[in-house]
Amino acid sequence: MRAVLSVGANLDDAARAVDGVLGYFRPETVAVSPVYDTAPWGVTDQPDFANAVVVIDTRDSPEELLGRCQALEDAAGRVREMRWGPRTLDVDIVQCTDADGSEIRRATERLTLPHPHSHERAFVLVPWLAADPDARLSGVPVSDLVDGLPPEDVAGVRLPGEEQP
């Protein structure tokens, strides 16, 4: 199974936390984006995030992969106090595809695939596009999804050292 994971953090050493996840998945990595500085989404009164996307090939089921992602979050001290609030680490499964490239769909209490809000989040789509310029989400090119986002959202995803407009 191929999986697209969105990795983010904005507490403690956020960039180091993201790099740690990228290192953890390195043996399975097919593609990885740079680590971006991103404006917070949802709750905006918090520090900027470090965000990246990693594309992996794994033998795990989506549910097994979710368990691994949550174990990484737990090891980083993730506390789920506020929806869209600050976090030491967030590892979301954006999309899974099977061997023939068909998108795997799930709608359970624990896991929804593809991730229900990924199509509207620049901090997911911009890094994903950097990792895989040919990426598609539910049949739609990720480049088209990025083009459809508000320009200020896309501008809020920048490489370290770039000025925020």
* Active centre residues (catalytic): 78, 87, 90, 92
Q: Tell me the C-alpha distance between 111 and 107, whole Å.
A: 6
Which parts of the chain are beta strand (E)? 2-9, 29-32, 36-38, 49-57, 90-97, 106-107, 112-113, 136-137, 140-141, 157-158
Residue type, 149: L
CA 134 to chain centre: 17
Structure-token pair, residue 9 = 């953090």
